Copies of this chain bind each other. A is one copy, B any other.
Amino acid sequence: MPEGYTDLGFAKVDTDRRRRCGFPEVIFGMGKTAEQIVAIARVILEKESVVLVSRATSDHWRAMAAEFPEARWHEVARCVTVERVTLPKLRGTIAVVCAGTSDIPVAEEAAVTLEVFGNTVERIADVGVAGLHRLLAVRERLEAANVVIVVAGMEGALPSAVAGLVSKPVIAVPTSIGYGANFGGIAALLGMLTSCGSGVTVVNIDNGFGAAFAAAQINRLANA
Contacts and interface: CB of A to CB of B under 8 A. Distances in A.
Interface stretch (A64-72, A82-90, A181-189): A181-189
A100 interface: yes
A interface, size bucket: 35 or more
A127 B12 contact: yes
Given A12-B125, A20-B167, A166-B20, A181 B199 contact: no
Copies of this chain in its oligomeric complex: 8
A47 interface: no
Contact of A193 (B128, B180, B197, B222): B180
Contacts of A205: 179-181, 193
A221 B171 contact: no
A174 B200 CA distance: 15
Nearest to A221: B222
Given A180-B207, A198-B23, A211-B201, A11 B193 contact: no
Contacts of A214: 169, 199-201
Interface in A169-224: 169, 171, 174, 176-207, 209-211, 213-214, 216-218, 221-222, 224
A201 B211 CA distance: 7
B5 A134 contact: yes
A2 to B, nearest CB: 4
A146 interface: yes
A79 interface: no
B199 A213 contact: yes
Contacts of A62: none
14 contacts: A12-B126, A21-B163, A26-B198, A32-B101, A128-B160, A132-B136, A146-B221, A155-B157, A155-B196, A157-B191, A180-B204, A182-B190, A187-B193, A201-B202
